[in-house]
Chain A
Amino acid sequence: MATQVGGLPEVVEDGVTGILVPPNDPQALAEAVLSLLRDPERRRQMGRRGREKVLAQFTPERVADLSEALYWEVLHKP
């Protein structure tokens, strides 16, 4: 679960890899917690998808590789 601020929605896809709630809305956060508590299968599914997404897009190796590629790109720009 995460709030819809900053880069969090990049990682947490609402209803797929987690649940996004509006910032400063404790009621929405509480409802999201309860909905997951009541549905263990959904919890597992979101957890699995979240892990897959992180391994595919956000590992340290991938972030560093992308950074290096970006450095080369800007160095070769006219």
Chain B
Amino acid sequence: MKLLLLSTSYPPVLGGLQTVAQQVAQHMHQHGHAVQVLTMRYPRHLPPYELCDGIPIARWLMLRPNLPDLERGRLAVWLASCLYYGLTLRRLAHLMETFQPQAVNFHFPTHLTHFVLWLRRRYTFRLVVSLHGHDVLGDSARTAYERRQFRQL
């Protein structure tokens, strides 16, 4: 099986989400499946690509233009998001076309939901969404757009 494990965060960042995502990735790799991990590049000093225990980890700055940033006067963030948005979509398309995952396991669906929905419109794969707690409980902190996207998953 080819599995794309898309997680908002991943080790060496510490936490429950990160630990579970890594354990699942390692288990699948040990069972002979092809696993690709894609996560946010945070903190920024982490390498954009690395191989951990035989599992390729890609860390990208996955940003999308967010109107509230502009409303709060965060022009630099908004401009950077515009730049990285197109780049992220191109990278995602490349990843999907080269790796061709049969299943995508999306952990902690928060702001990356937009990209997963974009992938679903363009590519054929089975989606498994893993909820970890605050991704559900934090619903009130989301914008109306994000809440709508969450329900579309």
Contacts and interface: CB of A to CB of B under 8 A. Distances in A.
B31 interface: yes
B30 to A, nearest CB: 9
Contacts of B127: 74
Interface in B23-42: 23-24, 26-28, 31, 33
Contact of A6 (B3, B23, B31, B136): B136
Contacts of B26: 64
Interface string B98-136: 000011010000000000000000000011101001101
Contacts of A74: 103, 126-128
Contact of B23 (A5, A64, A72): A64
The binding surface of chain B is classed by DSSP as mixed
A71 B3 contact: yes
A77 B127 CA distance: 12
Contact of A65 (B27, B102, B126): B27
Contacts of A72: 1
Contacts of A65: 27
Interface string A67-78: 110111011010
Contacts of A70: 128
Interface of A: 5-7, 60-61, 63-65, 67-68, 70-72, 74-75, 77
